[in-house]
Amino acid sequence: MTAEVFVGLDVSKTVLKVAVRPSGEHWSAGVDDVGRNETAEKIRDIHPNLVVMEAHGGVELPVAGTLASLGLPFALVSPRSIKDFTRAIGGMRQDRSQAGLLAHFAELVRPEVRKVPAESIQILKALQARRMEVLQMMAVEQNRLEKATSSIQKELKNHIHFLEKSVFWTDEEISRTIRLSVRS
């Protein structure tokens, strides 16, 4: 019988902090596309029973979308639940990070896994693929801008601005899709 694995994922605006129980493994990554994708794939490779994130203001939604698109079991928990849990176990020890606390919460409390419907997962995958395509187009246009004559620069800047708005819209759709999916 294989040991159960629980992951705590502390998401901020700039950093993802990960802790794994019972192994004690932990790491950090950027919350950008590369960090988010690498973290999700690394988590997938350890086959967790549950990944727990704190729901606070929506910064966790793109991460939840990435986890959902990989079929990983996750739960979004309220900050109040974590605060009550911390109090119940006698406070946060010096040696335990927030991610470690979330992993411990996952192991002991085992909150309900958010089932994301297959249709929503397909939408998330399509949105994430589109986002990557737009980012690639932006990179190409940025390279062109650096070499462009002044007569073309304005057109390129306008196109880059349009692409940036497209990325923003896609991010909003990913967050909306995951938000609607986890409510049910």
Q: What is the pLDDT of residues 18-43, one digit of tens each?
A: 999 999 999 999 988 889 989 999 99
pTM, full prediction: 0.79
118-183 belongs to CATH 3.40.50? no
- 144 residue type, one letter: R
**Which pLDDT tens digit goes with each residue over 119-171?**
888 998 899 899 989 999 999 999 999 998 888 999 999 999 999 999 999 98
Q: Is the dihedral of CA 132, 134, 138, 140 positive or negative?
A: positive
pLDDT at 178 over 90: no
Alpha-carbon span 74 to 3, nearest angstrom:
18
Measured torsion, CA atoms of residues 179, 176, 171, 130, in degrees rounded to the nearest 10: 110
Task: Give me the mean pLDDT over the 75-104 stretch.
Answer: 84
Domain 6-109, second-level architecture: 2-Layer Sandwich (3.30)
Q: Is the dihedral of CA 116, 121, 127, 128 positive or negative?
A: positive
**β-pairing, 50-54 with 74-77?**
parallel
Kindly list the domain boundaries of the chain, sorted by start residue: 6-109, 118-183
Contact 29/15 with Cβ under 8 angstroms?
yes
- Please give the pLDDT value at position 92: 63
